[in-house]
């Protein structure tokens, strides 16, 4: 999964004073927020002059850095376009096709604190991230469907293991990716942020392989025929009172697949649906004991098939598969197909946009492909010994 960072900001509300207005009385000053009152009391002409000098120094240093950084990231983009062109022509990729220097780091002065109160533009309220209850509610309201939840966690793990093995995933791939994505303890309905004591969702990512709403929509659109075939096969093998709910589930799945296919097959279009109640309803299928294991499997299987279709026939290690899972198939395969000697030299910056890289301390700290794969393997090794990972391993 792509990691998300959320930063909460606060600011001062400026007090507008007109020319010639009476000075603030002591009682009125005491009613001001402490930060504003203190700033007003301490903003001497000398402090203001010093602030403005430091601000100019900061702006000059930052402008020089941005010029250098923009040139670097433009080179990254240019090299990426060149590699893509070479791959289309089946021309071998070499070290010359990558930027081998690491990104510049800003080492200049920090932005000084303004001693005067500043007016901060009002931010629009942040849209709350939907959670499992919202997905289930949307499925009920839009499709008159409630996902069939497993009676126990091991029931879901066994269903996932059966389908994953039958589809061509290995035990090592499934267990180690699960260990990395969930920390080795996640349940089938674990949501990013609401785990390990977390109280607030930070994304819509759910389950063993942390599917986003957009992933669910995309999988329904692109793998819907296989999901329908597998569920229809189960319906045909079921009789008695258990058959009718399965038939309803199959009918709902067909409607969801049709809705997912109703837009162009692009990530941006699927993301638009994923941000609506309809996308939330589709995402509820991740929780279903029959469909959920298939969605979790295909989240990884599509990367395996992508690599195979591109001529990469060696089995993917779990860490390599995770690179494709995290960064997208095309970018991930760029790293996976790289010989070990090149992995030692190529900076991770080659596989990021600037904004994403600068928010990713792991990629910055482990700044070559070899180091990034190594730390991924280390986390998988450590988390594979945790209870959830051991339980999943026994399910295989």
* Same domain as 140, residue 48: no
State the average pLDDT over residues 345-374: 91
Residue 39 has a pLDDT of 46
CATH of the domain at 184: 1.10.530.10
Question: 145 with 139: CB under 8 angstroms?
Answer: yes
* Same domain as 92, residue 238: no
3-state DSSP call for residue 194?
A: strand
**Separation of alpha carbons 187 and 196, rounded Å:** 11
Query: Which helix (H) or strand (E) segment is 32 a member of?
Result: none
Summarised one tens digit per residue, pLDDT across range 210-235 is 999 999 999 999 999 999 999 999 99
Of 118, 147, 172, the residue at which a domain comes to its end is 118
**Separation of alpha carbons 90 and 83, rounded Å:** 10
**Separation of alpha carbons 132 and 30, rounded Å:** 46
* Same domain as 106, residue 214: no
Q: Which residue bears the tokens 């303004």? A: 114
- Region for 383 from its dihedrals, namely left if φ exceeds 0, alpha if ψ lies in -120 to 50, beta otherwise: alpha
With respect to residue 223, please indicate whether it lies within any of the assigned structural domains. Answer: yes
With respect to residue 10, please indicate whether it lies within any of the assigned structural domains. Answer: no
18, pLDDT greater than 80: no
Residue 1 has a pLDDT of 37
* Same domain as 360, residue 274: yes
Residue 27 has a pLDDT of 38
What is the CA 326 to chain-centroid distance, rounded? Answer: 7
Residue 47 has a pLDDT of 86
The number of domains in the chain is: 2
Residue 198 has a pLDDT of 75
Residue 120 has a pLDDT of 73
**Separation of alpha carbons 372 and 365, rounded Å:** 9
* Same domain as 345, residue 226: yes
Percent of the chain with pLDDT over 90: 69
Paired strand residues for 191: 194, 206
Name the residue range of residue 97's domain.
Answer: 35-118
* Same domain as 197, residue 64: no
Summarised one tens digit per residue, pLDDT across range 278-323 is 999 999 999 999 999 999 999 999 999 999 988 888 889 999 999 8
* Same domain as 246, residue 110: no
* Same domain as 327, residue 260: yes
Summarised one tens digit per residue, pLDDT across range 73-91 is 999 999 999 998 998 888 9
315 token code pair: 């089995």
Summarised one tens digit per residue, pLDDT across range 327-351 is 888 888 889 889 999 999 999 999 9
Percent of the chain with pLDDT over 70: 89
270, pLDDT greater than 50: yes
* Same domain as 238, residue 101: no
Residue 179 has a pLDDT of 95
With respect to residue 182, please indicate whether it lies within any of the assigned structural domains. Answer: yes
pTM: 0.79
With bands split at pLDDT 50, 70 and 90, how would you rate the model's confidence at 123? confident
State the average pLDDT over residues 157-173: 95
Of 73, 90, 118, the residue at which a domain comes to its end is 118
72, pLDDT greater than 90: yes
Residue 363 has a pLDDT of 87
**Separation of alpha carbons 253 and 358, rounded Å:** 40
393 token code pair: 């391993």
First to last CA, the chain: 23
**Separation of alpha carbons 387 and 300, rounded Å:** 22
Residue 42 has a pLDDT of 63
With bands split at pLDDT 50, 70 and 90, how would you rate the model's confidence at 19? very low
With respect to residue 204, please indicate whether it lies within any of the assigned structural domains. Answer: yes
13, pLDDT greater than 50: no
**Separation of alpha carbons 373 and 316, rounded Å:** 12
* Same domain as 274, residue 372: yes
């Amino acid at each position: 999964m792509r990691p998300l960072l959320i930063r909460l900001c606060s600011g001062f509300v400026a007090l507008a004073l007109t020319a010639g207005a009476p000075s603030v009385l002591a009682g009125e000053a005491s009613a001001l927020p402490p930060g504003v009152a203190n700033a007003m009391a301490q903003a001497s002409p000398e402090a203001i002059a010093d602030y403005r000098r430091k601000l100019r120094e900061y702006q000059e240093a930052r402008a020089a850095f941005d010029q250098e950084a923009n040139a670097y990231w433009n080179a990254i983009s240019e090299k990426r376009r060149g590699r893509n062109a070479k791959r289309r022509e089946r021309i071998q990729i070499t070290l010359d096709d990558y930027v081998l220097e690491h990104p510049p780091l800003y080492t200049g002065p920090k932005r000084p604190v303004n001693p005067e109160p500043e007016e901060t533009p009002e931010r629009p309220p942040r849209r709350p991230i939907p959670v499992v209850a919202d997905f289930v509610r949307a499925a009920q309201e839009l499709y008159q469907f409630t996902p069939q939840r497993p009676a126990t966690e091991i029931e879901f793990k066994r269903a996932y293991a059966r389908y994953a093995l039958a589809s061509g995933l290995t035990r090592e791939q499934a267990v180690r990716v699960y260990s990395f994505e969930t920390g080795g303890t996640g349940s089938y309905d674990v949501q990013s942020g609401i785990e390990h004591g977390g109280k607030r969702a930070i994304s819509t990512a759910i389950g063993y392989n942390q599917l986003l709403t957009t992933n669910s929509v995309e999988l329904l659109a692109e793998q819907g025929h296989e999901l329908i075939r597998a569920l229809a096969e189960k319906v045909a093998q079921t009789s008695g009172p258990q058959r009718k709910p399965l038939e309803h589930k199959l009918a709902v799945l067909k409607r969801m697949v049709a809705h997912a296919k109703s837009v162009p097959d692009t990530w941006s279009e699927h993301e638009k649906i994923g941000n609506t109640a309809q996308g939330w309803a589709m995402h509820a299928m991740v929780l279903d004991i029959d469909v959920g294991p298939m969605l979790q499997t295909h989240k990884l299987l599509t990367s395996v098939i992508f690599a195979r279709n591109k001529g990469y026939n060696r089995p993917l290690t779990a860490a390599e598969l995770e690179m494709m899972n995290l960064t997208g198939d095309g970018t991930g395969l760029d790293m996976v197909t790289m010989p070990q000697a090149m992995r030692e030299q190529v900076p991770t910056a080659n596989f990021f946009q600037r904004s994403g890289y600068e928010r990713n301390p792991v990629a910055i700290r482990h700044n070559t492909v070899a180091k990034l794969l190594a730390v991924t393997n280390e986390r998988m090794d450590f988390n594979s010994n945790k209870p959830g990972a051991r339980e999943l391993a026994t399910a295989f």
